[in-house]
Amino acid sequence: MTVIADVAGPAGAGSPGAPVQLSEHLWQVAGAGITHPWDAAAYLVLDGDPILVDCGSPLGSAALEAHLERIGVAPGDITAVVGTHGHFDHVGGGAILATAGVPILLHPDDRAAVAAGDPVRTCAGPLYGQAFPPVATSALADGDRITAGRVTLEVLHTPGHTPGSTCVVATVDKQRVLLAADTLFGGFSAAIGSDAAAWEVSLERLAGLDLDALSFGHGVSRLLDDPAGRIAEARLRFATYFDPWFKPPRHTFRY
């Protein structure tokens, strides 16, 4: 494994930014300010075989690929993309990586929408005015454990935002890090299969986890401390008024 010391090169106005090293073996490689403004956070765990958790949209794919190469990872070297759910901003770039032979893993309850490029279920059409490049995925299941070097990724099925939403608990650099994607602060819409009752159960499950840090899909590009306190705060805010999490997170969440 090669980690270069300084990847924060110059980024002109409108240019993609640089990947952010969250801890020694954990990087944020996609997201607003990193790849494309619409991209959700995507993560690279790099301790042995490289694995991505989400991969952003096709609009950010070229920047993602450039970032990976700066870190020393060729797209074809990626063992798998662990998709947190089937939305354009999280796995819309999956078809491009799949052409390099990278398996895209997704919970079965979101796989059909992604295989068909369903514009509504993937949010690509209504939210972004884009087409979702269809991609055949492999099944991801609750309880799956993926290991690479000293890193372990545990998959939790956490339906609510979408039927097939998952969270990943990464044990990396002696920390248990929750990669919550849109299970924390994602939008609610019946059109994408959101389910408030299921979501509340999922949040209760997150509250029971033993964690050291967390990150979610549309937040700041660093690991947040006090995960238990932040999850408790999120649960208190959940559904207290219509669509409470559909504002930029910085307005509803303390950093």
CB of 77 to Zn ion, least distance (A): 27
Question: Measured from the CB atom, is 186 or 219 closer to Zn ion?
Answer: 186
User: Binders of Zn ion among 186-205, rule CB under 5 A?
Assistant: 186
**Residue carrying the six token digits 């299970």:** 183
Q: Which stretch binds Zn ion (CB under 5 A): 29-37, 69-77, 84-92, 96-104?
A: 84-92
Question: Measured from the CB atom, is 25 or 218 closer to Zn ion?
Answer: 218
Q: Which stretch binds Zn ion (CB under 5 A): 27-35, 64-72, 110-118, 181-189?
A: 181-189
CB of 76 to Zn ion, least distance (A): 27
The DSSP 8-state label assigned to residue 157 in this structure reads E
- What's the full length of the chain, in residues? 255
Question: Measured from the CB atom, is 32 or 46 closer to Zn ion?
Answer: 32
Question: Measured from the CB atom, is 87 or 107 closer to Zn ion?
Answer: 87
- Cα 44 to Cα 51: distance, rounded to the nearest angstrom: 6
Residues near Zn ion (CB under 5 A), total = 3
182 binding Zn ion? (CB under 5 A): yes
43: β partners: 28, 53
Backbone angles phi, psi at 205, to 5 degrees: -65, -45
CB of 228 to Zn ion, least distance (A): 24
Q: Which stretch binds Zn ion (CB under 5 A): 16-24, 148-156, 179-187, 239-247?
A: 179-187
**Residues 85 and 161 sit within 8 Å (Cβ to Cβ):** yes
87 binding Zn ion? (CB under 5 A): yes
Question: Measured from the CB atom, is 87 or 157 closer to Zn ion?
Answer: 87
CB of 8 to Zn ion, least distance (A): 28
> Strand ranges (DSSP E) for the chain?
20-23, 26-30, 42-45, 51-53, 80-82, 104-106, 138-139, 145-148, 151-157, 166-172, 175-179, 213-215
Q: Which stretch binds Zn ion (CB under 5 A): 29-37, 167-175, 184-192, 232-240?
A: 184-192
Beta strand pairing status for 151-157 and 166-172?
Answer: antiparallel
Backbone angles phi, psi at 130, to 5 degrees: -125, 165
Q: Which stretch binds Zn ion (CB under 5 A): 93-101, 169-177, 180-188, 205-213?
A: 180-188
Tokens describing residue 62: 């070229």
CB of 141 to Zn ion, least distance (A): 20
Instruction: Classify residue 14 as left (phi > 0), alpha (psi -120 to 50) or beta.
Output: left
- Cα 89 to Cα 87: distance, rounded to the nearest angstrom: 6
Residues that bind Zn ion (CB under 5 A): 87, 182, 186
